[in-house]
Structure 1
Amino acid sequence: MKLNDRQIEYGFNYYFKEENDKIKSVVELAEYNGEEKLTINCTQLGDSFTPQYKTQKEKKRVVLEWCEFLHQNPMAFTELHFCTRMPQELFDAVCSQKRLKQLDIKWGAYKDISAIENLTSIELLHIGSGASVESIKPLSKLKNIVALSVENFQKIANYDDFSEMTTLESLSIVGDGMGPKFIKIDNINFVSRMSQLRFFKLLTERLQSKDYTPVLELKNVEHLTLRSNQEVSKLYNELITLPKLKWGLLKNKPELYEK
Structure 2
Amino acid sequence: MKLTDKQIEFGFNYYFKEEHDLIKSVVEVSEYNEEEKLIINCTQLGDSFTPQYKTPKDKKRVVTEWCEFLTQNQTAFKELHFGTRMPQELFDAVCNQKQLKRLEIKWGGYKDISAIEGLPHIELLHIGSGAGVESIKPLTKLKNLIGLSVENFQKITNYDEFSNLSTLESLSIEGDGFGPQYIKIEQIDFLNNMPQLKFFRLLTERLQSKDYSPILSLKNIVHLSLSGNKQVRALYDEIFELPKLKWGMIKTRPELYKN
Q: TM-score, normalised by structure 2?
A: 1.00
Aligned to 1:256, the other structure's residue is in SS state helix
2:241 matched to which residue of 1? 241
The CA deviation at 1:99 is 0.4
The CA deviation at 1:49 is 0.6
CA distance in 2, matches of 1:75, 1:15: 26
CA distance in 2, matches of 1:109, 1:36: 26
CA distance in 1, matches of 2:116, 2:45: 26
The CA deviation at 1:225 is 0.3
CA distance in 1, matches of 2:59, 2:13: 28
1:113 matched to which residue of 2? 113
The residue type equivalent to 2:35 in the other structure is E
Q: Are residue 128 (structure 1) and residue 128 (structure 2) matched?
A: yes
CA distance in 2, matches of 1:132, 1:48: 29
The residue type equivalent to 2:25 in the other structure is S
The CA deviation at 1:245 is 0.2
- Structure 1: state its 5+ residue gaps: none
The CA deviation at 1:91 is 0.1
Deviations 1:117-172 (A, max 9, x none): 11000000000000000000000000000000000000000000100000000000
Aligned to 1:109, the other structure's residue is in SS state coil
Aligned to 1:202, the other structure's residue is in SS state strand
The residue type equivalent to 1:173 in the other structure is I
1:158 matched to which residue of 2? 158
CA distance in 2, matches of 1:124, 1:6: 14
1:199 matched to which residue of 2? 199
The CA deviation at 1:247 is 0.3
The CA deviation at 1:34 is 0.6
The CA deviation at 1:250 is 0.5
Q: How does 1:1-259 map to 2 (within 5 A)?
A: 1-259=1-259
The residue type equivalent to 2:215 in the other structure is V
Deviations 1:73-104 (A, max 9, x none): 00000000000000000000000000000000
The CA deviation at 1:182 is 0.3
Deviations 1:36-93 (A, max 9, x none): 0000000000111101001111100000000000000000000000000000000000
The CA deviation at 1:31 is 0.5
Aligned residues: 259
Aligned-residue identity in percent:
73
The runs of at least 4 aligned residues of structure 1 exceeding 3 Å deviation read none
CA distance in 1, matches of 2:195, 2:215: 9
CA distance in 2, matches of 1:116, 1:153: 16
Aligned to 1:86, the other structure's residue is in SS state coil
CA distance in 2, matches of 1:226, 1:141: 27
CA distance in 2, matches of 1:138, 1:30: 32
The residue type equivalent to 1:95 in the other structure is C
The residue type equivalent to 2:103 in the other structure is L
CA distance in 2, matches of 1:69, 1:204: 37
The residue type equivalent to 1:36 in the other structure is E
CA distance in 2, matches of 1:250, 1:238: 11
The residue type equivalent to 1:178 in the other structure is F
CA distance in 2, matches of 1:167, 1:18: 29
Aligned to 1:38, the other structure's residue is in SS state strand
Aligned to 1:232, the other structure's residue is in SS state helix
Deviations 1:216-249 (A, max 9, x none): 0000000000000000000001001100000000
The CA deviation at 1:178 is 0.4
Deviations 1:157-208 (A, max 9, x none): 0000100000000000000000000000000010111000000000000000
